[in-house]
Amino acid sequence: MTAEMISDHEFSLFQELMHTLAGVYLPPNKKSLVWTRLSRRLRDLDMNCLGDYFRSINSGRNPLELQRAVDLLTTHETYFFREPQHFDFLVTPILSAPRTGNDFRVWSAASSTGEEAYSIAMLLMQQLGATQSWQVFGSDISIDAVEKARAGIYRTQRIEHMPDGYLQRYCLRGIGREEGTLRIKDEVIGHVRFAQINLNRPLPDIGTFDVIFLRNVLIYFDTPTRQQVVERLVQRLKPKGWLFIGHSENLGNVTTSLRQCQPSIYRRT
């Protein structure tokens, strides 16, 4: 099955849907991706074409199926300690600097299935210990991804960049039928909370944060959406708080509320 199985008109419907709901722009070269990710769902529902599927989810009568479509069309590629330079910077200078207040909070704003959030939590456990007051909050537009993150169970292929000793210290290896998996230890999970949040909508009352990770997300937005999303996050940053974006991203012409300290690392002014 190829992109020819989805017409230009059908593709445009899903383009508009994803931009409206999630702020995500699907360029024309994603036509085959849309078909590949949705065609199995068509078979499950015994539907003949994507036009029928679109009319079904756009009718307002099936919000769960609409959410499933959004889940299928958003990207969830991630692994533990991705872009390790950011974690080094989190240790020095951020965590090594004197802090006012006792509660240190980090938001993984597009946490996918949770590897980023748990990477941050393991690092904070290593640097701050279990007794200090700190929290990691992870969010994603995908309900399925959030549920997987809450479970804290992963394939061991995702640990290539995990620092030495972290696997033994903060994870449990699966045995028997669970061999090849790991589970985050409860002492780490206890500091992490997850919720489903659409960054393209007004944010719920989630408090403020010392650090926000928003990595490898802005590349999927057009400039007006980038501006709106970043401004929402800036309002959730504490004074002098830090924002990390992906190494292939930048905030040029996006905001004047943040000062670039290094490529992909910004601070609230």
Domains observed in the chain: 3-73 (1.10.155.10), 84-268 (3.40.50.150)
* Average pLDDT of the residues of the chain: 93
pLDDT in tens, 29-67: 999 999 999 999 999 999 989 999 999 999 888 899 999
Helix (H, G, I), strand (E, B) or coil at 126: helix
Residues belonging to the active site: 37, 140
Backbone angles phi, psi at 109, to 5 degrees: -80, -15
CB 114 within 8 A of CB 121: no
Which of 202, 195, 208, 199 lies closest to 245 in space, CA to CA? Answer: 199
- What's the confidence (pLDDT) of residue 102? 72
CB 82 within 8 A of CB 161: yes
Percent of the chain with pLDDT over 70: 98
| Long-range own/partner contacts, residues 88-97 (CB < 8 A, 24 or more apart) | 89/244, 89/262, 89/265, 90/120, 90/123, 90/211, 91/123, 91/127, 94/210, 94/211, 94/242, 95/124, 95/127, 95/128
Whether the upstream peptide bond of residue 63 has omega within 30° of 0, thus cis, is no
- What's the confidence (pLDDT) of residue 3? 45
pLDDT in tens, 94-143: 999 987 767 999 999 999 999 999 999 999 999 999 878 999 999 999 99
